[in-house]
Chain A
């Protein structure tokens, strides 16, 4: 065996290096010298992002267990960008008294989940895929239950880990029948053995159900609201964008590359699930009062839009998926950044009513929140419009007219509830609005990055074009 193969997995190796450096830093320092821990983490992640921004070609290692393509590489960079923003926003929360001594653990767990997603994205075998998925979801449960002395957090953690276990059980059951009918689990060998027999359809359904739990598509979304509400806000933001984005990308990779021959089986299944996801996510979001719970349902409906890109099933679909995830990271993390800073500085105010009259005291935060919500709703000058537009185009090219029509109708509903928050901030009167908040430089930097993304990603067409080029090369 050639051990130099490890060096070809550049994103994974550099991420492991970061984890080791941070681990040693955490282990051997105490007191004053720990002051720079977060700065180090942010700088290292920034370097990681810059080193890996230039995608390399198609690599296949370890006999096909690991395979990487330009679009997978680009997706890893997108996820790293999101993680960097989350880490910047975590700063404020991690300086609090009850979490300060656990800073190191937070970074270990967070980066382990990211590593798991990297392996999941570039898996070439179902075993690799499964291990990556579990590496992504087991530390995630620890993160959800991170606030040890709060009952909410433990409760959310229990709900998350039990549904994660159940979903991986379902998925493994599906994979076992794929193995039984075909005799191999390599992604490149499976298409040759697919016949569309009932057993294979059943295994496809089980596999899809397992992955649907991770993406929180509608029949499998019941854990989402509680887990999002109970988890610390930083973790919620991570869960809603990074974990979801990677799972959707993998879903598309597997459905197109592995189950491509069974397209007429998974197409109607996806059709129904997308309609249910978008509609139910929207309808439940309308009646939420807690902002984190609200964002949970909004993220469910956004997941429906992302999966819409899978319906295209070609390079355009892949491009619009990656682009949607990128824009979604900017918009959703901007919203969560504002929610996070307000929650930290106002002792846990996360209800929509608390935001009444926020404009009088915090005009800048209000402005960023408004931009983020407009982008999530898909109002033209912002990036959210372009991402939705590309997703619709790719689904429309696949001939799914009614699906696109229903999704379009749903954007109108979503506009209603996103604007409800804008109305609370700008119009509704309040005698005692939340006092003026002075945010720290880390949070400011993260909000600036997100705002630049919301304004720039759509207009800057080079991003979409390069993603398109990568996916043409990859598929």
Chain B
């Protein structure tokens, strides 16, 4: 069996790649994808902890399933808003979203 640490290394890398992408990408869709990476790394964490450390209960699996569902709903709303921005200004670059600077 693959040791648990390997999975945790993968999920940690995903988490911080997502964070890096969120702060450096200047396109709304790319930022959304980065955030999805963070959420997926969390799902991996939950499933791995459940499978390796507490196999007698299913709490982690359930949490992962709910997290996937909720993040899908959030992504749907986010994409709807991004489409709305595209309709308004024909662009989804962050640098064009500076209407409200003082």
- A residues with a Cβ closer than 8 A to B are 126-127, 130-131, 134, 138, 141-142, 145, 148-149, 151-152, 154-159, 161-162, 164-166, 168-170, 172-173, 175-177, 179-180, 183-185, 225-226, 229-230, 287-290, 293
Contacts and interface: CB of A to CB of B under 8 A. Distances in A.
B84 A148 contact: yes
Given A130-B66, A134-B73, A185-B59, A154 B32 contact: no
B29 to A, nearest CB: 11
29 contacts: A127-B63, A130-B63, A141-B78, A142-B77, A151-B85, A151-B89, A152-B99, A152-B100, A155-B99, A155-B100, A156-B100, A158-B78, A158-B81, A161-B74, A161-B77, A162-B22, A162-B31, A164-B74, A165-B35, A166-B22, A172-B39, A173-B42, A179-B59, A179-B60, A180-B45, A185-B59, A185-B63, A287-B102, A289-B102
A158 B45 CA distance: 28
Contact of B18 (A134, A154, A169, A290): A169
A157 B84 CA distance: 10
B14 to A, nearest CB: 10
Interface string B58-85: 0110110011001101110110011011
Given A164-B74, A289-B102, A180 B31 contact: no
Contacts of A168: 39, 70-71, 74
A162 B99 contact: no
B9 to A, nearest CB: 14
Contacts of B73: 134, 138
A166 B75 CA distance: 11
Question: Interface residue tally of chain B, by bracket?
Answer: 35 or more
Contacts of A173: 15, 38, 41-42, 45
Tell me the interface secondary structure of chain A in the complex: helix
A166 B39 CA distance: 9
Nearest to B35: A165
Contact of B38 (A156, A170, A180): A170
Contacts of A287: 102
Given A173-B45, A184-B59, A185-B59, A166 B35 contact: yes
Contacts of B60: 179
B84 A145 contact: yes
Contacts of B75: 165
B78 A179 contact: no
B74 A157 contact: no
A262 B79 CA distance: 39
Interface of B: 15, 18, 22, 28, 31-32, 35, 38-39, 41-42, 45-46, 49-50, 53-54, 57, 59-60, 62-63, 66-67, 70-71, 73-75, 77-78, 81-82, 84-85, 88-89, 97, 99-100, 102
A130 B78 contact: no
Nearest to A178: B49
Nearest to A149: B88
A305 to B, nearest CB: 24
Contacts of B22: 162, 166
Query: 9 tightest CB-CB pairs across the interface, nearest first?
Result: A169-B38, A176-B45, A180-B49, A172-B42, A157-B81, A165-B35, A154-B84, A183-B54, A161-B78
Contacts of B77: 138, 141-142, 161
A376 to B, nearest CB: 21
Contacts of A175: 42, 63
A162 B54 contact: no
A126 B50 CA distance: 15
A175 to B, nearest CB: 8
A162 B45 CA distance: 22
B31 to A, nearest CB: 6
Contacts of A158: 28, 78, 81-82, 85, 97
Contacts of A151: 85, 88-89, 99
Given A173-B45, A179-B60, A183-B54, 4 more contacts: A134-B70, A154-B88, A168-B74, A169-B35
A130 B70 contact: yes
Contacts of A131: 66, 70
Nearest to A140: B77
Contacts of B39: 165, 168-169, 172
A179 B46 contact: yes
Contacts of B59: 127, 179, 184-185
Contacts of B74: 134, 138, 161, 164-165, 168
A207 to B, nearest CB: 12
A290 B25 CA distance: 29
A165 B97 CA distance: 19
